[in-house]
């Protein structure tokens, strides 16, 4: 969290800032650096995709109107690869455009010219909503299960199984606390922050669906374990430990 204007605990969140305005890139990057963020910049969508090959940021800020590859095309390309949070920073003000972008690819939308304290608050809000950093490496949970959450997939017995954005968000929270119990309330907040009257049954249903996808025996889970009355725990099998019998 931000403490005294700086990011207080842990590694500074990585932000990739994508805009074709060099003056904005320099100014906003300096402002974010001053608040303790680790910032990279790109002047168009193609450069942004090249930067993604070397590592995943925790959040992207993307302009919509750019040469060679516009922001919407870039955002779609990013979401096809990984469920990374995106804030749109654009001069487009129409309500329909905002609604469409928020529905399809963006976690938030800020209109230019931006007011930096507001933009910073929105960045912090999105990072808190996402909650846990995107794991950038494959997580080996057992001989037949590997999570590749940065690609929103699981490798189950060698076959790629796609994960929905909500499934990925819940697994992010569990993977960031591997072997530890995460409460149902925390998972509900991770998966359905902006849903009014969200109910714990949402978590139960999603966990049941995840078990159908990744467990060798969904009725006797060994990886997605229920901690009765509290929440769930993601368990990594010790080498040589057998999978549950099918």
In the chain, domain spans: 2-130, 139-234
Q: How far does Cα 201 stand from its chain's mean position?
A: 22
Confidence check: pLDDT of 37 > 80: yes
State pLDDT tens for residues 177-221: 889 999 999 898 877 765 677 789 999 999 999 999 999 999 999
**Tokens, residue 143:** 């001989």
Separation of alpha carbons 60 and 34, rounded Å: 18
Helix ranges, 83-230 (H) = 95-104, 116-130, 165-175, 184-191, 200-214
pTM for this prediction: 0.58
More confident residue, 43 or 108: 43
CATH for 2-130 (3.40.50.2300, 3.40.50.620, 3.40.50.720, 3.30.160.20): 3.40.50.2300
- H/E stretch holding 29 reads helix 22-34
CB-based contact 75:105 (threshold 8 Å): yes
Q: Of 62, 8, 11, which Cα lies nearest the Cα of 35?
A: 8
Question: Which residue's structure tokens are 């494959």?
Answer: 138
**Tokens, residue 168:** 């990925």
Separation of alpha carbons 172 and 155, rounded Å: 16
CB-based contact 85:130 (threshold 8 Å): yes
Burial class (CB in 10 A: 0-12, 13-18, 19+), 243: middle
State pLDDT tens for residues 84-125: 889 988 887 665 555 666 666 788 888 899 999 999 999 998
- H/E stretch holding 17 reads strand 14-18
Which strands, in side-by-side order, build the sheet including 59-62? 38-42, 14-18, 59-62, 86-90, 108-111
Confidence check: pLDDT of 243 > 60: no
- Rounded average pLDDT over 151-171: 87
Confidence check: pLDDT of 150 > 90: no
- Determine the pLDDT at residue 84: 81
- Determine the pLDDT at residue 106: 80
Separation of alpha carbons 63 and 74, rounded Å: 10
Q: What is the CATH number of domain 139-234?
A: 1.10.10.10
Residue 244 confidence class, pLDDT cut points 50, 70, 90: very low
């Amino acid at each position: 969290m931000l403490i005294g204007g700086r990011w207080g605990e842990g590694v500074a969140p990585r932000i990739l800032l994508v805009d074709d305005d060099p003056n904005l890139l320099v100014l906003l990057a300096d402002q974010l650096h001053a608040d303790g963020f680790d910032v990279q910049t790109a002047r168009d969508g193609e450069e942004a995709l090249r930067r993604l090959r070397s590592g995943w940021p925790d959040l992207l800020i993307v302009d919509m109107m750019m040469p060679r590859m516009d922001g919407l095309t870039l955002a779609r390309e990013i979401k096809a690869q990984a469920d990374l949070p995106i804030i749109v920073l654009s001069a487009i003000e129409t309500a329909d455009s905002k609604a469409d972008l928020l529905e399809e690819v963006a976690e938030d939308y800020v209109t230019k010219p931006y007011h930096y304290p507001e933009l910073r608050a929105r960045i912090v809000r999105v990072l808190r909503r996402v909650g846990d950093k995107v794991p950038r490496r494959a997580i080996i949970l057992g001989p037949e299960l590997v999570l590749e959450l940065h690609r929103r997939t699981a490798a189950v017995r060698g076959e790629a199984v796609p994960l929905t954005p909500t499934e990925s968000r819940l697994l992010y929270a569990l993977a960031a606390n591997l072997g530890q119990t995460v409460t149902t309330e925390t998972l509900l907040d991770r998966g359905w922050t902006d849903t009014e009257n969200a109910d714990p049954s949402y978590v139960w249903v999603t966990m049941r669906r995840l078990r159908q996808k990744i467990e060798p025996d969904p009725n006797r889970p060994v990886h997605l374990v229920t901690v009765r009355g509290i929440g769930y725990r993601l368990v990594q099998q010790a080498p040589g430990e057998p999978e549950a019998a099918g």
